[in-house]
Amino acid sequence: MSSQNRGTVSASYRAHAEAAQRLGRSYRALPTGSTVRLAKKTSNIFRTRAKTNAPGLDVTGLDSVIAVDTRRLTVEVSGMCTYENLVAATLKHGLRPLVVPQLKTITVGGAITGLGIESTSFRHGLVHESVVEIDILTGDGEIVTATPTNEHSDLFYGFPNSYGSLGYAVRVVLELAQVKPYVRLEHLRYRDLDALEQALTTLAASGTHRGFAFDFLDGVVFSPTESYLTVGTMTDEPGPVSNYTGQGIYYRSLQRRTSDRLTIADYLWRWDTDWFWCSRAFGAQNRVVRRLWPQQWRRSSAYWKLVALDRRFGIADRIQGLRGRPPEERVVQDIEIPVEQSARFLDWFLHNVPITPLWLCPLRNRQASRTAQWPLYPIRPGQLYINVGFWSAVPGQQSGEIGHTNRLIEREVSRLGGHKSLYSDAYYTQAEFEKLYGASTYTTLKKKYDPDGRLLDMYEKTVGRR
């Protein structure tokens, strides 16, 4: 390493240390009993949250990549760094995080505490499984370093799925993998759900298609008779590539093409341009509107801001009221179910919930020996799960029942032995929640790392109507 590079890395460490100190001071300056939150500019949380005038914790400077270690294949990064910035830094070295969540403004800390997933998860598991070391600002105001083997190993394993109820990620060391400049895609169509389930099982288990290893695997369901799995293979082979950041729409290409090629960067962000398919709610998939829509605003963070404005002013609810209808119910969820129950769940969903398309992403814990140690989101060792993502709204109930469809989905997912992520609305009873999300371990961790209850309790934060 040149002296110039060493100086840059040293400056990055100093800047991070100063930022961490500011964070700690802002936490200690909060009055006892006041709400604790991060002063974030973006969010990928969709559940109802309490309104508060309390100042957020000062996260200035905690959004950077500190250092990329090309020899050890690791990256050291601040907890508020977005994956957009992280990927840009690692691709310069021909590297990427093992799991890159789909949306650019997801932060590293958010992906760990909220269970990030993507098309490498059939091999590498969830984001937190590639964490080597993590500094966490805990509820008692201290920043501790947690690793799999040190005195804070209980927090290391208990932090995933805690959603800020045990603390906030300040610094993270993540594993990296080498990349090639292009990704070759094959879109495989299935005409019934049983065939889709069998293909998911076979492809995820072997990691090969037609005798060749692939790197990425996910899928889309349009109807009971039209679904696709996409296998992606990295390649050095040059040639023409598609671009879905302009007039083209990626998910529609699955229906028109059997094969495709993207640059590695465009592949990693293929879902961000149209927020999967949710941009259609804003007219951004209309040909005329799309030509007029500024390209820099064709990204998930722009659509999220439009959703935030709608919530703030209740625009959609007012329109429904003028039509004499109750407010629509948001159904914005990711769930995981055992692969052998996937056809059954998809059939039930498509007959009971008027939402399509659905995103599919196979998931298996990376190391079976560590599976039992992720207590707040326990999934069985060696079991292949399928993540199903669905993000839309359905007609509200004339009776005024809150969360009718979400409750139906929760019951069906639990009946089939699955879980759901907690970034959106949840309706579990306290007993149901404790059974699903490691209550006994959580209680122990909460007493140890947040003894005065400064941070919201996990159930209160993810289910309670605050």
Query: What are all long-range contacts of 299-308, with beta carbons under 8 Å and residues at least 24 apart?
Result: 299/104, 299/272, 299/273, 299/275, 300/44, 300/103, 300/104, 300/105, 300/272, 300/275, 301/42, 301/103, 301/104, 301/105, 303/275, 303/278, 303/279, 304/42, 304/43, 304/44, 304/105, 304/275, 306/282
| pTM of the model as a whole | 0.91
Give the three-state DSSP class for 141.
coil
For the chain, the domains span 3-178
Instruction: Tell me the one-letter amino acid at 305.
Output: K
pLDDT tens, the chain, 466 aa long? 434 455 556 888 899 999 899 998 888 888 877 777 776 665 555 555 555 556 678 888 899 999 999 999 999 999 999 999 999 999 999 999 999 999 999 999 999 999 999 999 999 999 999 999 999 999 988 999 999 999 999 999 999 999 999 999 999 999 999 999 999 999 999 999 999 999 999 999 999 999 999 999 999 999 999 999 999 999 999 999 999 999 999 999 999 999 999 999 999 999 999 999 999 988 999 999 999 999 889 998 888 888 777 677 666 666 666 676 767 889 999 999 999 999 999 999 999 999 999 999 999 988 765 545 789 998 888 899 999 999 998 987 776 678 999 999 999 999 999 999 998 889 999 999 999 999 999 999 999 999 989 899 999 989 985 4
- Which residues are bridge partners to 259 per DSSP? 186
Q: Which CATH number fits domain 3-178: 3.40.190.10, 3.30.465.10, 3.40.1030.10, 3.40.50.700?
A: 3.30.465.10
Cβ(405)–Cβ(338) below 8 Å: no
Give the three-state DSSP class for 238.
coil
